[in-house]
Amino acid sequence: MSLFYLSLHTKFDIKKTDMLTIKQITENTDAVLRGLEKKHFKNAQEVISQVIEANDKRRNSQNQLDKNLAEVNSLSRSVGQLMKEGKKEEAEAARLQVNEIKEKNKELEAAMNEAAAELQNLLYTIPNIPNEGVPEGYGAEDNVVERMGGNHAELPADALPHWELAKKYDLIDFELGVKITGAGFPVYKGKGARLQRALINFFLDEARDAGYLEIEPPYVVNAASGYGTGQLPDKEGQMYHANEDDLYLIPTAEVPVTNIYRDVILEEKELPIKNCAYSACFRREAGSYGKDVRGLNRLHQFNKVEIVRIDKPEHSYESLNEMIAHVENLVQKLELPYRILRLCGGDMSFTSAITFDFEVFSAAQKRWLEVSSVSNFESYQANRLKCRYRSGEKKTELCHTLNGSALALLELLLHY
């Protein structure tokens, strides 16, 4: 793992990339395939070929349908004229031709809708293309350390792990959580609960002072919201789903807050939009087991404050740097030893174009623990959300969306 020590709040020089749209896929296929290869997306060539084929079917059906509709309009006009001229047989022949074309149009509409649905479903399976500044790599070992700060704590030899410390001072009751719900749902008590509340208030107040508007969102969302921000389709089965109502428990406040701007056209002067929100977060963490999931590691429910931005493409990387600086300021105020990682292609989320992770060092567990991910999704989410802004020329363009944890509470508790 390469290591760089940069000066405080050094800005990361990153160039924006193009959005992943049908136009890009069809006109820049090789570039899209290279990007998907960096993210180690399986069967990229096959899926992209299917996308192009489905798009051709949709487009050809649409073109033929447009031609037929134009012919129907022309023939319909001629029927009236022929009737005026007393040419009843010709008028009747034209009317029959109109009916035949309308029947064919029904078939074309069905074919077009089928191809469009196939195309949409295929696009949902394709991850975002990584920014050119994303390093190559397969997993966490290939992430690049960009910056480090803070001092490491020296614990005495008889220091207790957090799960024993929490039990000794009655701060967190893991067994009670199992009784009430199940493993991964701890009950915070007394000073443990007060610490959670104090950290939430601290993070929200810091975000407010930085110009973020606080939002209190729902903790469950509909399927359209899940598709909008890219949590659906949930290929890993990590979301809790209320089947009866077809609602999903949120994995992060990013989902409901970003979806505020679904199907919205913003004015350029409104950007950048800056929102923050506290929420409980729910994740199934399917497949997690072993010593690294003991205590507060890998919970199914935890608390987090999220910051979200909606911005213009040309300014979104300035916003990303500001968000990184904001999170860094938080860990510095908490006097935590930290490092900032630039994630490699194989360790990034499905929707991200570029991600920087913040990790704090747990002296008790002798390992680094993630407390924040700050990501620019560029126009990937906005394309799904149809989140656009109107420029000075009155044209509408896709926004860029960004989000970051500021911060996740459970890893902070693990540090101690």
What's the pLDDT tens digit per position in 123-178? 999 999 999 999 999 999 999 999 999 988 787 877 777 788 888 999 999 999 99
370 annotated among ligand-binding-site residues = yes
- Same domain (yes/no): 155, 93: no
Q: Residue 114 belongs to what domain range?
A: 42-124
Going across the sheet that includes 400-408, the strands are: 144-149, 338-342, 354-362, 367-378, 400-408, 301-311, 273-282, 213-215
Share of the chain above pLDDT 90, in %: 71
Q: How many C-beta atoms lie closer than 10 Å to residue 60's C-beta?
A: 14
* Residue found by looking up tokens 């129907």 in the block: 72
Look up residue 45 and give its amino acid.
Answer: Q
- Same domain (yes/no): 184, 227: yes
- Same domain (yes/no): 97, 168: no
Q: How many domains does the chain have?
A: 2
CATH number assigned to the domain comprising residue 278: 3.30.930.10
Look up residue 104 and give its amino acid.
Answer: K
Q: Is residue 25 part of a domain?
A: no
- Same domain (yes/no): 71, 191: no
Q: How many C-beta atoms lie closer than 10 Å to residue 63's C-beta?
A: 12
The mean pLDDT value of the chain amounts to: 89
396 annotated among ligand-binding-site residues = no
Q: Is residue 30 part of a domain?
A: no
371 annotated among ligand-binding-site residues = yes
Looking at residue 4, its pLDDT comes to 30
- Same domain (yes/no): 63, 192: no
- Same domain (yes/no): 97, 144: no
284 annotated among ligand-binding-site residues = yes
373 annotated among ligand-binding-site residues = yes
The length of the chain in residues reads: 416
Interstrand relation of 354-362 and 367-378 (parallel, antiparallel or unpaired): antiparallel
Looking at residue 32, its pLDDT comes to 94
Residue 413 pLDDT grade (very low, low, confident, very high; cuts 50, 70, 90): low
- Same domain (yes/no): 293, 388: yes
Looking at residue 196, its pLDDT comes to 93
Q: Is residue 24 part of a domain?
A: no
From 124, 152, 170, the end of a domain falls on 124
Does the predicted TM-score (pTM) go above 0.75? yes
Looking at residue 143, its pLDDT comes to 97
From 124, 152, 175, the end of a domain falls on 124
CA–CA separation, 347 vs 376, rounded Å?
Answer: 15
243 annotated among ligand-binding-site residues = no
CA–CA separation, 100 vs 144, rounded Å?
Answer: 64
From 63, 95, 124, the end of a domain falls on 124
Q: Is residue 132 part of a domain?
A: no
For residues 176 and 277, the answer to whether their CB atoms sit within 8 Å is: no
Our CA angle for 404, 408, 414, nearest 5°, is: 145
Our CA angle for 396, 398, 401, nearest 5°, is: 140
Which of 373, 378, 255 shows the shortest CA–CA distance to 324? Answer: 373
For residues 220 and 256, the answer to whether their CB atoms sit within 8 Å is: no
For 196-265, the DSSP string reads HHHHHHHHHHHHHHTTPEEE---SEEEHHHHHHHT--S-TT--S-EETTTTEEE-SSTHHHHHGGGTT-E
- Same domain (yes/no): 83, 149: no
Predicted confidence (pLDDT) at residue 341 exceeds the cutoff of 80: yes
- Of these ranges, 10-19, 79-88, 379-388, the one predicted with the greatest mean pLDDT is 379-388
Predicted confidence (pLDDT) at residue 416 exceeds the cutoff of 50: no
Predicted confidence (pLDDT) at residue 77 exceeds the cutoff of 70: yes
As to burial, measured by CB atoms within 10 angstroms (0-12 exposed, 13-18 middle, 19+ buried), residue 246 is exposed
The pLDDT tens digits for 186-243 are 999 999 999 999 999 999 999 999 999 999 999 999 999 999 999 999 878 899 999 9
Written as six digits, the tokens of 219 are: 């903790």
Q: What is the mean pLDDT of residues 294-306?
A: 85
CA–CA separation, 343 vs 375, rounded Å?
Answer: 10
Our CA angle for 338, 342, 344, nearest 5°, is: 135
Looking at residue 319, its pLDDT comes to 98
Predicted confidence (pLDDT) at residue 6 exceeds the cutoff of 50: no
Residue 3 pLDDT grade (very low, low, confident, very high; cuts 50, 70, 90): very low
Predicted confidence (pLDDT) at residue 289 exceeds the cutoff of 60: no
For residues 97 and 75, the answer to whether their CB atoms sit within 8 Å is: yes
Q: Is residue 22 part of a domain?
A: no
268 annotated among ligand-binding-site residues = no
Q: Is residue 163 part of a domain?
A: yes
Q: Is residue 34 part of a domain?
A: no
Residue 249 pLDDT grade (very low, low, confident, very high; cuts 50, 70, 90): very high
Looking at residue 412, its pLDDT comes to 60
Q: Is residue 305 part of a domain?
A: yes
- Same domain (yes/no): 281, 395: yes
CA–CA separation, 134 vs 345, rounded Å?
Answer: 6
- Which ranges constitute the DSSP H helices of 334-416? 380-385, 409-415
- Same domain (yes/no): 260, 354: yes
Helix (H) or strand (E) holding 307: strand 301-311
Indicate the SS3 state at residue 322.
helix
Predicted confidence (pLDDT) at residue 291 exceeds the cutoff of 70: no
Predicted confidence (pLDDT) at residue 288 exceeds the cutoff of 70: no
- Same domain (yes/no): 150, 119: no
403 annotated among ligand-binding-site residues = yes
As to burial, measured by CB atoms within 10 angstroms (0-12 exposed, 13-18 middle, 19+ buried), residue 333 is exposed
- Same domain (yes/no): 155, 118: no
